[in-house]
Amino acid sequence: MNPVIQIGFVDADRAYSTQLLYWIQNNVFGCQWKPMYFTKLQEVDGVHLDFLLYGMYEENPEQFEHIKKIQAQNENMKVILYTNRIEWMCMFYEVDLMYAFLKENPNPKWVEMLRKQIRKEKRNVLAVEFNGTIDLIPFQDIKYIQKESRKMHVYTSEHVYTMYAKTKDIYSKLDPNVFICIQTGLILNLDFIESLKNGQVQCKNGACFLLNRMNRAENIKRIYHYKKLKRWEEEYAGNRIE
């Protein structure tokens, strides 16, 4: 069962908080998000949270002291701050932050920071056992995994590994933020997808696969959101994808 993550939004602008939650739910997988909405910091006192997103709209040093108080109550809570005034961001050093961004220009890196935090404690390797040999394959090396009869073939740039397993069992061990099951017996690394057109994905090695009709709409949405986020990340890094 996926862990339940309690995330709090402190912002009088409920529509913007909802928009942030939408971004999170469509880009960070492997957990169940339990959102809580507040209009001011005082409402957070005594509430257990794993993540706190706070919109800062006034220059008031006391709010930082209140955030520190909330952090003391939630030892492992991570804080993300955002504001509509760039000159106020210099004050954010007062608080132990995971990330900060401008409301009008939300660098999507904050979503990636959430992803990394969620999977921080997980081992990002797949154990492949076959004929008495066990290989540990880093997730980032896996291009795709394809079923053949009772066997599953794990394709990397250098090798093809084989194991006896069910698709659902392998998929449950992978990072759902990076891998997608597009057919019965076919799992793709989202980074390995080059393009998507007419319900068909083309991979970076030229291979093409049709999306399963049953989950096509959901998978198209996932691929779209993932590629959009990656494109924005590269744009912010100065490596614009045309």
Whether 229 contacts 27, CB under 8 Å:
yes
Q: At what angle do helices 14-25 and 109-118 cross, to 10 degrees?
A: 60
| pLDDT tens digits along 22-57 | 888 887 877 788 899 999 999 999 899 999 999 998
Mean pLDDT for the stretch of residues 144-172: 91
237 against 31, higher pLDDT: 31
Q: For the chain, what are the domain ranges?
A: 4-118, 125-236
The alpha helices in 98-242, defined as continuous H runs, are 109-118, 167-173, 216-236
CATH no., domain 125-236:
2.40.50.1020
CATH no., domain 4-118:
3.40.50.2300
Task: Please report, rounded to a whole number, the percentage of residues in the chain having pLDDT higher than 70.
Answer: 88
pTM for the whole structure: 0.59
pLDDT at position 160: 92
The alpha helices in 86-203, defined as continuous H runs, are 109-118, 167-173
pLDDT at position 148: 93
pLDDT of residue 133 exceeding 60, the answer is yes
Whether 33 contacts 60, CB under 8 Å:
no
